[in-house]
Structure 1
Amino acid sequence: MPRSIPQDGPVEIDGKSAPVTTQFEEPLVDCYRCGRNGIQYEVYKHCDPCAVDLCMRCYRIGRGCNHWFGFGFAAQAKFDASHPRRVSRSMELPHLLVGRQYRKPPQKAVQTTSQGHLTTDSDPTSRLQEGQFCDHCGAFANACYWSCDYCNDGEWGFCNDCVNTHHCCSHPLLPIAHKLFTPGCVLPRSYDPHVGALNSNLSELHATSAQRSAVNPRSFSPAHSAPSSATSATDVASAGPFPDFVNLSITTNCDICAVPIPPSDSRYHCPSHPSPTKAAPTRTGDYDICTGCYHNLIKIGRITRDAGPAGWRKCPEGHRMIVTVFKADGADAGQRRVVLNDLVGGVKMSDQDIALWQQNLDSSPASAPPSAFTTKGQWTWQDGTPDPAESTDSLQQYGSGARRTRSKKANLLGNVSAESSKKGNRFPPNGGFGKKCIALWSYYPEEGDAGAGELMFPKGAMVGEVEEINEDWAEGVYMGERGLVPMVRVREL
């Protein structure tokens, strides 16, 4: 842990005596497994009993401490299988790896070098963030975290902004918050709401998790993957499934009539609609319309019927929307956010694709929809079995590995379009075209050029809009991102 370095006597600046300031040694964190230095300013995992730290890459590929038994709900099962219970002998419970990150010292902080170590007048302990971090963008999310029970064996979740902008998985998500961040919680006046450590003893945390898992296996998560919420977390519903976290009751106000939407009522949510605040002037995604107001917008002609709920499902600004609802779950008394209808046409369908689709319908309504998306650019994947469709000069070398490239071809909608026209569908399906697959194993691309264009996904992820490139690789979508998927890691549903 960082330590303070006292300074004796006054300090002279420009010939004048200045007050003494305490200098703190800046933390230097190294990965216990791969030895990578200086990971303190990025999200990493910490094991308190072992006093070791791990970078996220080592952690995600399963390299924990020596008494870590895996991710989420599977960890306790592995522990029980390898440690038969004996009443006469106490056993050390599985260790939990908690997310951490130090914020960098402020620019105004006085920095010096003492005995080869960087020191500042900014206390690093006040800049330590500990708890839940978004698995999409890495943001600190103790105040509002959306937890998934399926991705990575339940050890996966997202911040509120990523959920609002649809950069999350398609599974039901539970909104929870750390007790320090719950509405109505009395905090010290000097407390920074963006920083906060878990307030319980970590050994107690381990014991509580294990005890809960015996009653409800879904409640055990070594990383406490907890969720966040949509517009406003106004009330604490009940004790959450994880220690120090509680379930949030989400109140979403309609952005047309300003009336709260009951959790059990479906609402139209726009991930792309601008929703700026003073603190975040470029923020998007905090925009919801109740069902009554949305149908009324169609009646008064503000939204055309083709852009309405039976068509493109667009907001007044012309963005495609999704339909969500909150459903109660008796397992932990929480309310999970469920996506009833995904984006019409999916993530891969751009505004240009929509315009071409609509142009085709307007010119010949009785004909089949356009046979392909606009296909520009190239696919690039790791070298494996040569693809007969690629040219011989498409092999690119990156260090010790090789990657192949191939121009994108219009092969996604070829068969689907004809089938769509037979059914009389004038609009693309919810969630887009292509196959849907479930991840049998996690896949985390290499950093830099070696993994460029490849899709990151955990075990249990639902990968959609899967378009095969060759026998080894396909392009798919997960967390609102599109990228290349190794087919050996997934199975078609």
Structure 2
Amino acid sequence: MAPSSLEQTVEKELICAICTDLIFDPITFLDCLHTNCGSCSKSWFSSQASNRNPTPTCPICREPVRETRPNPSFANLLEEFLRKNPEKKRTDDDIREARAIFKPGDRIVSGGVVVNANTPSPMNRQDQQQRRLSTPQGSSFTLEPLPPNAFEGFRIGFADNQRLIDEFFAGLVPPQARLATNVHFGGHPQPPPRNAPSHNYNLRVPGQPATIVEIIASSRQLAMITCDACERNVNMYVHYECTVCSLYHLCSSCYLSGQTCPARHRMLAQKQVMRFQAPYLETGIFCNVCDEWVDAPAGGHLHSQPDNSFFWRCAGGCNNGNWNYCKRCVRLGACCDHELKLYTNTRPATPPNGVLRGPTPQQQLAGPEGSLEARGYARWYNYNVVCDRCSANVHSAGSAGWYHCRECLDGEFDLCMGCSAWQEAEGECPRGHKMTIMSQGSQGRGDMRTLLKPEMEAPEICADTEPRTAIALRGNFAGIEGALRFPVGAELREVRPALYDDDWCWGTYCGRGGIFEKRLIRLT
């Protein structure tokens, strides 16, 4: 019997981010509360300590870890899941190998320090390269050992750390997937800005995997990927892959900050996902706020498309007009105040590659960067909004706009201008939420923009001054706690100087508030 949607959701939460298998001996990190296998966690933190990393960090969010603790509640949930799905239990050999690294009760991190980090890891076993992998259909196959020259051309060119890399990743991912794991211990060159001189760098070698889709197709496993600039783990996050260099990747923050591969090649967005216990690679368009994939094939039927085949695109200056939102983020107010245009695609539902979900690189490179129409996307004008009080179409002739609640009905509560409910509630929906005023754009129902949205309450760090608007001269994607992320050209609202430092400001963008450097903006 096929697994239910609830079981699939539960199983997704039980996956270890390091080995991408069901978690075994769950260990939770404080204070980020991410949970992974005990043996994987111990190997991860031991590798950091061996590389003289003074602060153990989480492999998922890169936040500092001050303590690791067992998670009985998680273990109970995992035990119940395995009771209903006994075929997913680990083999006796897998259990022995994991327990050779970590036993329940072992301390891994305490007081922000890795405990017993100098203990050699038993994971560097050559027989791990021949372990058996189960396919989603339940059959199995054996991965042959890599030839001696398999790592020729691999970007890590410093011999001292090669042993450490092999020890850490042996057994965690299939041999092919190891080629896709961009691990950096200080020896990888920092990608220059996009105006750097062009030169050849790590070009693709025939017969060797050069892209993540090739890795997934051959190993039937998710690859482990880190950003080649900041070393952030991007296993199941949106990242950018070079279309020419072999296995060169950047996280979205580094890419949107202006970095690219050293040869300045085009880079394309993609994200690994698990669907029905099988790995896939999503490509094409993603929401720039929540990373949701919005490029599902439309199947050639424009009137029966899946919801995630639509996206709103900023028609203003955000990232020079190359800034996208999913439909849900727009409903919830997590979008800019520029005019937005609705797009979809007309691709067939059957992907050209069994693990690829979205356009191929050839389709994405069909037109200039930022161009949509040349790459098979089309405007969508059949977009209606109905008043939830009187059922009137707010797009009817003569309508100047409508009122929208971002909190009721998951952001799908709207009132027309003529509805008396708005006038009686003095700008609030029936549940007392402040409402946003929306209007059509310049081309009718396929366009939309925000005219007025409720102000956010400024924090105590702000000076008591009149709020202003500003235009972003540069994007801000720094990983600073409390920082506001925004692209170049963004229109920031409610901008106030910070009390503690004249060089910093606080403002809002896409329904969120945060701090940023004053030099990044121009007040208007």
TM-score range, shorter chain: 0.5 to 0.7
In 1, Cα distance between equivalents of 2:357 and 2:263: 23
Aligned pair partner of 1:99 in 258, 269, 274: 269
* Equivalent pair of 2:483/2:514 in contact (CA under 8 Å): yes
In 2, Cα distance between equivalents of 1:324 and 1:457: 22
In 1, Cα distance between equivalents of 2:330 and 2:339: 11
1:362 aligns with none
User: Are residue 342 (structure 1) and residue 474 (structure 2) matched?
Assistant: no
1:479 aligns with 510
2:258 aligns with 62
Rate the CA distance shift 1:177–1:261 in 2: closer, same or farther, 3 A: same
User: Are residue 209 (structure 1) and residue 367 (structure 2) matched?
Assistant: yes
In 2, Cα distance between equivalents of 1:178 and 1:196: 16
Report Cα offsets for 1:441-491 as digits up to 9, x if no partner: 111122xxxx11111111101111011124201111111111112111101
SS in 2 for 1:270: strand
Backbone CA RMSD of aligned residues:
3.3
Rate the CA distance shift 1:241–1:473 in 2: closer, same or farther, 3 A: same
User: Are residue 287 (structure 1) and residue 413 (structure 2) matched?
Assistant: yes
Measure how far apart 1:144 and its partner are: 1.9
State the AA in 1 paired with 2:496.
E
In 2, Cα distance between equivalents of 1:139 and 1:462: 23
1:435 aligns with 468
In 1, Cα distance between equivalents of 2:374 and 2:431: 40
2:155 aligns with none
Bigger RCO of structures 1 and 2 (CA < 8 A, at least 6 apart): 1
State the AA in 2 paired with 1:36.
E
Rate the CA distance shift 1:269–1:436 in 2: closer, same or farther, 3 A: same
1:321-400 mapped onto 2 (5 Å cutoff): 321-329=435-443, 335-343=446-454, 346-348=455-457, 379=461
Measure how far apart 1:204 and its partner are: 5.2
State the AA in 2 paired with 1:319.
H
2:421 aligns with 297
User: Are residue 34 (structure 1) and residue 229 (structure 2) matched?
Assistant: yes
* Equivalent pair of 2:250/2:260 in contact (CA under 8 Å): yes
2:378 aligns with 246
Rate the CA distance shift 1:105–1:59 in 2: closer, same or farther, 3 A: same
Which consecutive unaligned segments of at least 5 residues does structure 2 have? 1-90, 93-136, 142-218, 296-308
State the AA in 1 paired with 2:401.
R
1:107-256 mapped onto 2 (5 Å cutoff): 109=277, 122=278, 124=279, 127-142=280-295, 143-149=309-315, 150-180=317-347, 187=349, 197-199=357-359, 202-203=361-362, 205-206=364-365, 208-210=366-368, 220-221=369-370, 241-249=373-381, 250-256=383-389
Aligned pair partner of 2:488 in 456, 459, 465: 459
1:8 aligns with none
Measure how far apart 1:256 and its partner are: 1.8
1:404-423 mapped onto 2 (5 Å cutoff): 411-412=464-465
In 2, Cα distance between equivalents of 1:58 and 1:179: 31
SS in 2 for 1:132: coil
Rate the CA distance shift 1:460–1:319 in 2: closer, same or farther, 3 A: same
In 2, Cα distance between equivalents of 1:328 and 1:263: 15
* Equivalent pair of 1:477/1:483 in contact (CA under 8 Å): yes
2:55 aligns with none
* Equivalent pair of 1:152/1:461 in contact (CA under 8 Å): yes
Rate the CA distance shift 1:58–1:323 in 2: closer, same or farther, 3 A: same
Measure how far apart 1:21 and its partner are: 0.4
TM-score, length basis structure 2: 0.50
Higher strand share: 1
Rate the CA distance shift 1:322–1:242 in 2: closer, same or farther, 3 A: farther
* Equivalent pair of 1:269/1:322 in contact (CA under 8 Å): yes
SS in 1 for 2:338: coil
Rate the CA distance shift 1:53–1:484 in 2: closer, same or farther, 3 A: same
Measure how far apart 1:257 and its partner are: 2.5
Which consecutive unaligned segments of at least 5 residues does structure 1 have? 1-12, 69-94, 110-121, 181-185, 211-219, 225-239, 276-283, 350-374, 380-407, 417-433
State the AA in 2 paired with 1:460.
G
Rate the CA distance shift 1:177–1:453 in 2: closer, same or farther, 3 A: same
State the AA in 2 paired with 1:58.
C
In 1, Cα distance between equivalents of 2:392 and 2:312: 24
1:444 aligns with 477
State the AA in 2 paired with 1:438.
I
State the AA in 2 paired with 1:328.
S
Measure how far apart 1:326 and its partner are: 1.9
Measure how far apart 1:57 and its partner are: 2.5
SS in 1 for 2:379: strand
* Equivalent pair of 1:324/1:338 in contact (CA under 8 Å): yes
In 2, Cα distance between equivalents of 1:466 and 1:147: 24
* Residues matched between the structures, number: 293
Rate the CA distance shift 1:488–1:35 in 2: closer, same or farther, 3 A: closer
Measure how far apart 1:96 and its partner are: 3.9
In 2, Cα distance between equivalents of 1:38 and 1:28: 11
In 2, Cα distance between equivalents of 1:66 and 1:151: 25
* Equivalent pair of 1:144/1:176 in contact (CA under 8 Å): yes
SS in 2 for 1:209: coil
Measure how far apart 1:266 and its partner are: 3.4
Rate the CA distance shift 1:33–1:262 in 2: closer, same or farther, 3 A: same
2:77 aligns with none
SS in 2 for 1:260: coil
In 2, Cα distance between equivalents of 1:136 and 1:41: 16
Report Cα offsets for 1:94-126 as digits up to 9, x if no partner: x543221111465xx5xxxxxxxxxxxx3x2xx
Rate the CA distance shift 1:323–1:42 in 2: closer, same or farther, 3 A: same
SS in 2 for 1:253: coil
TM-score, length basis structure 1: 0.53
State the AA in 2 paired with 1:270.
H
Measure how far apart 1:175 and its partner are: 1.0
State the AA in 2 paired with 1:44.
H
* Equivalent pair of 1:174/1:334 in contact (CA under 8 Å): no
In 1, Cα distance between equivalents of 2:389 and 2:225: 51
Measure how far apart 1:37 and its partner are: 7.1
State the AA in 2 paired with 1:98.
L
In 1, Cα distance between equivalents of 2:275 and 2:259: 30
SS in 2 for 1:161: helix
* Equivalent pair of 1:348/1:482 in contact (CA under 8 Å): no
* Equivalent pair of 1:32/1:53 in contact (CA under 8 Å): yes
In 1, Cα distance between equivalents of 2:441 and 2:453: 17
Measure how far apart 1:34 and its partner are: 2.2
